[in-house]
Amino acid sequence: MTTPAGSAPAPGKKLNRIGLEVLQYRGSKTTLCAGCGHNAISERIIESCYDLGVDPKRVLKLSGIGCSSKSPAYFLSQAHGFNSVHGRMPSVATGALLANRTMAAIGISGDGDTGAIGVGQFVHLMRRNLPLVYIIEDNGCYGLTKGQFSPTADVGSTLKNGVVNDLPPIDTCVMAIELGATFVARSFSGDKKQLTALLKGALSHKGTAMLDVLSPCVTFNDHEGSTKSYSYVKDHEEPVADVSFVPYFEDIAIEQEEGTSRTVTLHDGSKIVLHKLDRDFDPTSRGESLRVLRETSERGEYATGLLYVDPAKKDFCSMLNLVDEPLAFLPPAVTRPPASVLDELMDKQR
Ligand SMILES: Cc1ncc(C[n+]2csc(CCOP(=O)(O)OP(=O)(O)O)c2C)c(N)n1
Ligand code: SF4
Ligand SMILES: [Mg+2]
């Protein structure tokens, strides 16, 4: 049997809704350190795309530079990939999606790639609501260049050699919410269930889905004194709600007892179900989301889960009124108006 992804599945293997086995969602063998949080995130991306039946050949994988930005090589080997310049993935993603908005795009960045050299590009990406899943693999350091502090490192956290960070951190979730991203979440590479649900929600969202995933660097930032280590994040994770995801193709009734669950319906009909923990939390209220982020940060905790969502706002491609046919497939005769059209325009200016 030939599959949408091209290669035939091994006999007897479990297939997903588009006839692919999980192996067909894998990438090359990782070259990152054993135990690096980034590897766990790649695994969750593989699982989420397999479960949703995403066609890997219809996916664009984009990244900048860093250990995190190497990750796209380790999932979805049949997807299209572009490893760009440090901090410049957002502009490459914007160009690629404007040329062909029928592709599903996953961008992988690092806290350095996003918060330092790429912060200008990040800011404008969040304002535009480009239909892209943007994942920050956040370890609070520049892993690839041997562990210097990044802009997400907390005040008072230390390097392995004892040097203390004196600068206040950038909170990428606060920035994304303030600037207009329409799906903002924080998770932990070690929280399999929460991260998978959030990734599935992000993949089904039409607009910018920004996920800041705390992802410990076992080689340079996993010691006592780091607030991005496995043990610190495990002890200070404060979920805002227990999150689960129901895709549009699974027509199952959702248990929704008054006061215990809240459902957010995404553009494609998929549902994100937020089960109440010990607090009321409304992820559609920007003010409420920012308040929870500020309060948890003041306590030295990380609010995790779906922090903000607005499924109704138009995405960037729709705002630009692009024609239905992807620009990449239009012939030059259509995309390049003849000289007479330019002359006519110039005449109007005179
Ligand atoms: C223009 C440019 N400046 C600096 C570098 C050096 N450099 C490579 S990766 C990196 C930081 C990576 O940190 P982060 O984005 O957090 O990724 P991580 O390795 O931690 O996953 C830096 C400064 C570079 N490659 N290009
Ligand atoms: S140096 Fe750190 S971030 Fe890079 S692969 Fe190793 S553990 Fe991961
Ligand atoms: Mg980093």
Q: 5 in a domain, yes or no?
A: no
User: What span, in angstroms and rounded, lies between the C-alpha atoms of 75 and 48?
Assistant: 11
Nearest protein CA to atom 13 of ligand 1, as residue: 142
The total domain count for the chain is: 1
Q: Which of 62, 65, 122 to mutate to test the pocket of ligand 1 (most atoms within 8 A of CB)?
A: 65
Rg of the Cα trace of the chain? 21
77, pLDDT greater than 60: yes
- 337 Cα–ligand 3 center, Å: 45
Which pLDDT band, with edges at 50, 70 and 90, does 253 fall under? low
3-state helix, strand, coil in the chain (%, to 5): 35, 20, 45
Mean pLDDT of 152-165: 96
Q: What's the mean pLDDT when you consider all of the chain?
A: 93
Pairing of β 80-83 and β 59-63: parallel
Q: 109 in a domain, yes or no?
A: yes
Residue 5's pLDDT is 47
Q: Ligand 1 pocket, 144 CB below 6 A? A: yes
CATH number at residue 98: 3.40.50.970
Nearest protein CA to atom 22 of ligand 1, as residue: 145
Q: 78 in a domain, yes or no?
A: yes
Residues with CB under 6 A from ligand 2: 32-33, 36, 38, 67, 139, 143-144, 217-220
1, pLDDT greater than 80: no
Nearest protein CA to atom 8 of ligand 2, as residue: 36
Question: pLDDT tens for residues 14-67?
Answer: 999 999 999 999 999 999 999 999 999 999 999 999 999 999 999 999 999 999
Question: Which among 56, 106, 96 has a CA at the least distance from the CA of 78?
Answer: 56
Confirm if 63 and 84 have CB atoms less than 8 A apart.
Answer: yes
205, pLDDT greater than 80: yes
Q: Which of 31, 36, 142, 159 to mutate to test the pocket of ligand 2 (most atoms within 8 A of CB)?
A: 36
Which pLDDT band, with edges at 50, 70 and 90, does 257 fall under? low
User: What are the CA-CA distances from residue 84 to residues 27, 81, 100 (Å)?
Assistant: 18, 9, 18
Q: 227 in a domain, yes or no?
A: yes
Q: 231 in a domain, yes or no?
A: yes
Which ligand lies nearest the alpha carbon of 113?
Answer: 1
User: What span, in angstroms and rounded, lies between the C-alpha atoms of 291 and 212?
Assistant: 18
Q: 236 in a domain, yes or no?
A: yes
User: What span, in angstroms and rounded, lies between the C-alpha atoms of 84 and 146?
Assistant: 21
Question: pLDDT tens for residues 87-143?
Answer: 999 999 999 999 999 999 999 999 999 999 999 999 999 999 999 999 999 999 999
Q: 314 in a domain, yes or no?
A: yes
> Which pTM value belongs to this model?
0.94
**Nearest-10 crossing angle of helices 119-128, 172-179:** 40
Q: 1 in a domain, yes or no?
A: no
